[in-house]
């Protein structure tokens, strides 16, 4: 097996990293009661760069998922908004938000333990409505979305497009 940077990683190392994510999930849900059964680690070159656990309940923040925390901390640690060459290990299959964030961050591969079906069966975590909503055209989604002042916004985009020192991402 190999990691996101193409280097061979032993099965034992993959298991070590996923076990750490599972351990963090237990801390979040059972020990600290900060949120659901979710923990995650970001690994680069065979070393853990960052760790995260679910803190949705403790922080009153629906975005404070384990993967989000691990990705944010990895970006800070590596001083980059791109995590090329990094692998995400997570106790549960990522939700739509965490999966999208993994793509935006440039995570090369993801290893997960429990599935979306497990999260639904044992924790009543159901993201199926989000997957369905995202597949709908904007006008058919349950959250009403209204476009306003597009021309004004596009003027800023046009200036950004011409900005010579913009950082591409």
By annotation, the residues acting in catalysis are 67
3-state SS, residue 84: coil
DSSP code for 42: E
Q: Can you read off the two tokens belonging to residue 54?
A: 């679910």
Residue 19 Cα distances to 4, 39, 102, angstroms: 19, 10, 20
Edge-to-edge order in the sheet of strand 47-53: 47-53, 39-44, 86-92, 109-114
- DSSP three-state, residue 135: helix
* Three-state secondary-structure class, residue 110: strand
């Amino acid at each position: 097996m190999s990691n996101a940077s193409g280097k061979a990683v032993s099965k034992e190392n993959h298991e070590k990293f996923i076990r750490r994510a599972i351990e963090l999930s237990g801390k979040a849900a059972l020990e600290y009661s900060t949120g659901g059964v979710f923990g995650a680690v970001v690994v680069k070159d065979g070393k853990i760069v960052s760790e995260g656990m679910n803190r949705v309940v403790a922080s009153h923040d629906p975005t404070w998922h384990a993967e989000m925390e691990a990705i944010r901390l990895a970006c800070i640690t590596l001083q980059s908004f791109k995590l090329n060459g990094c692998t995400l290990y997570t106790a549960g299959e990522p939700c739509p938000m965490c999966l999208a964030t993994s793509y935006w961050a440039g995570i090369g591969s993801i290893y997960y333990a429990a599935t979306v079906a497990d999260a639904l069966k044992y924790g009543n975590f159901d993201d199926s409505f989000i997957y369905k909503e995202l597949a709908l055209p904007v006008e058919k989604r349950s959250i009403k979305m209204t476009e306003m002042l597009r021309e004004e916004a596009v003027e800023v985009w046009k200036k950004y497009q011409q900005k010579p020192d913009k950082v591409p991402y």
